[in-house]
Structure 1
């Protein structure tokens, strides 16, 4: 077989640059070995590319082009010198935490090669074309990330009560009256647009549009028509319009506007835009995804809810609806928390939990309840629920579904793996990293001593090597947050008086507040690069106080800084049970690595509803992250 000549040096360079971008540790290692002459670089690259899991390759088409070119190159090289391939050492490492792709590291268990990847017999790829394409990809051509600001332009239709809504994206800042999140997406990706309106309006025709991201200055979406409704309920107080953007069912941006009069938008100062980074995922999607966007009036009572499910055709693209409540959600949740966290008898506690759960489900968005019962009636085996919400207080995990004539079901967080997310700047990751740890464990005295603190610290460090932060002062904690560890575990007391926000009690009578953590710019830089998991095993942080899950709490602050997942109690927890839960979680992570992290807490949460042994601490823990996230 005659093969055309090609530039092997360029191909090798582009392949290493691909690894630099997606697997930095591999790129660094192969550069080092190439410089020392330790390996045959072409063979080493081919072996690495062949062993990367084909289901989780970032930029899959670019990967296939590189792999085909490497095989072609090696075929020529083998024809020339007839040498045998050199085996790949088994220590070529894991992806760096600085990588922005949620991919799995190459491992001995991964498929080496598939029939689809093998070149056909006699194939002779156009290497010149491949080199041109590979160069474009690695230099940021086809797959480079592009940022746009979404906008809403609302105008009245002459001669009637209808509105025309133009949705477009450009490079400018948000306009007057607009609030939202800028979109960052790769060129060539398809983005779905879902228009939602308060009960004052009805979208004429389909509320769904889509567009392909292009490297242009402006993208226009086909305009919408909204019809003004006459049957507006009193609960719908503030008219507003929202455009929600998503990629493969995952929210990637939003823009909203208040409408004070037909055709006029509320006067509002222009603010800095958040930017949502959405890392790509492959494979399974949650069985049900609920996205809650606040009405721009931001009164804690008016929201927009979108429900999506791959199992229901009418919900496949997302079904929007207004969600208006008679009171602020913070007040609703506070009332229920006070009821069941004050109970000590297990039987009475379970009754309070279930009763509160039924009332919470009754207050849930109508389109969510509609989709839920349709999924139950369909017989589909449900596993996971994703809650992406700007409403921070409602404990979805504790909702107990009930409909007339039927027995109550188990709580949502007991029947299903539930993952919540509240980040406006970065989306939850499907793969999270746990390679090392830093454990913050202050040395308390007297009545404040946490009896199991040292044991918990030792257990975590024995599973994930790292640092013991003990004693723990304010400066020690800041250094820990800057350490770049993939796991940050806190064993401490907390406090929340409902007015000044959450604080963690440290040594030397010092404290650190959620507000202070949010103000550490250097910490934000580290978090965005390393995407750590944060486990806040803090006891007595304001029992019954919904501020725990509020916008000013530690969970929300760590998410905004860039954590890939946060585990935190929604109310005060009991020391010994909290200790046991931490050990069970890390034991499951080690022993059942393919088990979703949210599923571990589903099993733990179930014990709260045991009428003989139930304790509210088992129900307190919330998993903030992708409900299908696993350690990889």
Structure 2
């Protein structure tokens, strides 16, 4: 009897695995064959990528009856259907098998691994009823969560498990205080231990799909977000919610094959960002404070989850709240940009202080309490990372104040190193900024009204002091650099000093001597420079740092460059003064590439120079890792050596 049960269990596991192959790799599943004998499994056939090959090998290793695996899958184009061999068939029909030395070496995961985020409901969401959710990091993708894999790197050679913090939010669910935060335990060569939580669906939930968002962090460092939509099942009129019957009251156990549970589970259908590859680097420096301002409600762009994370103890226990900005964030940003751009030098501070305090008043009380606690304990210099998909409000400009106690500070990005990043590109937040040469584009415009003499001097200074390479300031050479690189080796940064534009009419670009280059052109897949080097972009042009909503996501240069894996962007949000703008960039680049300051420190130093004399230093926004640093030396040509 026990043997029969074991045989059924094995057959069920292998059957589930074959179904998983058919679902996840439909073009290759019928051509994959597995030979199993005496605990040794050999995988043969063809598959579409090295990543898929590794995932299949990992899954076979976890199946019952498998002790060792030899993965002989060939990465190639899809096979035509062929007959699969069932490893649970009569052993007499099994093909000949030869045990080789490969079988005696047990594969082990190394120090850089891949896992797949999964949000799995216990069933459809029934208004007024409990809903069980499981947050996991799996060896194989579940096919339902809107996210690419999470890369976990810098693990020790003898690592066995890593704890990853997760925080869950949904505008359509209620959680017992604190119950939406937990830990996923990632295990070496094994399924992770998921975080399982229980929530209650709002009785008045309106949409047919609710959205659940999970935020992953490790030791306070942001790793990324994933989202999943869950179908709403409404009870028949007159049915008591407490007696309602639901499918699948619990999620699958850890390590079970991926798939859909419940009749109603479904893919995201409204406004879900296509998230990039999440990344978790265990040796990366963690900022003292991370602010996450991320869209939360289904179909409501102005409702956000605000989460404040710090590895420093202190402040309120609940650091998460909802933020409703109403329908005016875009108008607020437009009003501020128009007023500040027209201020004369020396008359800007009161207006900017007013806007900074208005932004501070919009922030949640729990964040304000935590900020004062950290400031009291650590002083005003601690680094702050902002991660947001809210495109309009310059949160860095906020000016903390407390009427009750009389406490106050300067603008956040003057008192602290601050950088922001885009929520949909969280996994591409890169801390190791590249060394190499700066590619400098500085157009000399023919029309006298367009002349920017200080921008031209800025480019000449970069060449003389930091060994930047002067490039022909035309559309073709600029786009060719982004697509093909150059002969001078790694590109540390792409620098532009000239005219730029961002407005509601869609003019969003930088002006070369022969025409405009738009953010849309830069955001397309032929732009490979960021993927190749993680290059910085330093665009000293009016308005280029601004963003807006486009097709449900953020648009603009910041989004385009983040999508193409650039290490960061420094650019102004409003029109800037030529001489003051040049001072900001010279000071910032010297600090970053010559003095080895972090990205956040370098931009702060650049802002502080001249901020009392002009509104221009306040215009600059910094996208990237606030702790980012050129760690391998500046990689620049020595000062005074000229250019090639």
Other-structure match for 1:201:
174
C-alpha contact 2:128 2:202 (8 A) present in aligned 1:
no
Other-structure match for 1:335:
335
Other-structure match for 1:517:
522
For residues 571 and 477 of structure 2, what CA distance do their matches in structure 1 show? 21
Kindly provide the CA deviation profile for residues 498-525 of structure 1, in whole angstroms up to 9, marking residues without a partner as x: 22241111122x2111001111x2323x
Equivalent residues, number: 481
> Which among 107, 111, 121 is matched to residue 143 of structure 1?
111
> Which among 149, 172, 178 is matched to residue 141 of structure 2?
172
C-alpha contact 2:170 2:213 (8 A) present in aligned 1:
yes
> Which among 454, 472, 478 is matched to residue 456 of structure 2?
454
- CA distance change for structure 1 residues 216 and 284 in 2, over 3 Å: closer, same or farther? closer
C-alpha contact 2:221 2:286 (8 A) present in aligned 1:
no
C-alpha contact 1:539 1:575 (8 A) present in aligned 2:
no
Q: Give the 3-state SS of the residue equivalent to 2:501 in structure 1.
A: strand
Q: Higher mean Cα deviation, 252-261 or 435-444? A: 252-261
- CA distance change for structure 1 residues 189 and 529 in 2, over 3 Å: closer, same or farther? farther
1:360 offset after TM fit, Å? 0.6
Other-structure match for 1:445:
446
1:494 offset after TM fit, Å? 1.1
Kindly provide the CA deviation profile for residues 333-363 of structure 1, in whole angstroms up to 9, marking residues without a partner as x: 223333322222523x211100000011111
1:418 offset after TM fit, Å? 0.4
**Aligned ranges for residues 26-425 of structure 1 at < 5 Å?**
141-153=109-121, 155=123, 161-170=129-138, 171-172=140-141, 174-175=143-144, 179-180=146-147, 182-186=149-153, 188-198=161-171, 201-203=174-176, 205-214=178-187, 219=192, 221-227=194-200, 240-257=211-228, 261=232, 268-269=268-269, 273-278=274-279, 280=281, 282=283, 284-295=285-296, 297=298, 299-313=300-314, 319-344=319-344, 346-347=346-347, 349-378=348-377, 382-405=381-404, 406-422=406-422, 424=425
For residues 401 and 630 of structure 1, what CA distance do their matches in structure 2 show? 28
1:314 offset after TM fit, Å? 6.3
Q: Give the 3-state SS of the residue equivalent to 2:563 in structure 1.
A: helix
> Which among 482, 488, 505 is matched to residue 499 of structure 1?
505
C-alpha contact 1:493 1:540 (8 A) present in aligned 2:
no
Q: Give the 3-state SS of the residue equivalent to 2:527 in structure 1.
A: helix
Structure 1: which 5+ residue stretches go unaligned?
Answer: 1-131
Which is richer in helix? Answer: 1
1:231 offset after TM fit, Å? 12
1:389 offset after TM fit, Å? 1.4
Q: Higher mean Cα deviation, 252-261 or 449-458? A: 252-261
- Is residue 2:457 matched to residue 1:488? no
Other-structure match for 2:606:
604
Other-structure match for 1:584:
587
Q: Give the 3-state SS of the residue equivalent to 1:534 in structure 2.
A: strand
For residues 540 and 251 of structure 1, what CA distance do their matches in structure 2 show? 28
For residues 180 and 267 of structure 1, what CA distance do their matches in structure 2 show? 11
For residues 591 and 149 of structure 2, what CA distance do their matches in structure 1 show? 37
Other-structure match for 2:465:
463
Kindly provide the CA deviation profile for residues 522-568 of structure 1, in whole angstroms up to 9, marking residues without a partner as x: 323x31121111100113659xx764999221122112211112111
Kindly provide the CA deviation profile for residues 432-453 of structure 1, in whole angstroms up to 9, marking residues without a partner as x: 1232121112221121121123
For residues 345 and 450 of structure 1, what CA distance do their matches in structure 2 show? 18
For residues 575 and 548 of structure 1, what CA distance do their matches in structure 2 show? 29
For residues 268 and 427 of structure 2, what CA distance do their matches in structure 1 show? 25
For residues 444 and 605 of structure 1, what CA distance do their matches in structure 2 show? 27
- CA distance change for structure 1 residues 566 and 158 in 2, over 3 Å: closer, same or farther? closer
CA RMSD of aligned residues (A): 3.7
Kindly provide the CA deviation profile for residues 168-202 of structure 1, in whole angstroms up to 9, marking residues without a partner as x: 34433642xx5445423258433221122337512
Structure 2: which 5+ residue stretches go unaligned?
Answer: 1-101, 156-160, 235-263, 632-644
C-alpha contact 1:340 1:352 (8 A) present in aligned 2:
yes
C-alpha contact 2:223 2:426 (8 A) present in aligned 1:
no
| TM-score in terms of structure 1 length | 0.68
Kindly provide the CA deviation profile for residues 251-305 of structure 1, in whole angstroms up to 9, marking residues without a partner as x: 3232234568578778744989533252625374211111222125353301112
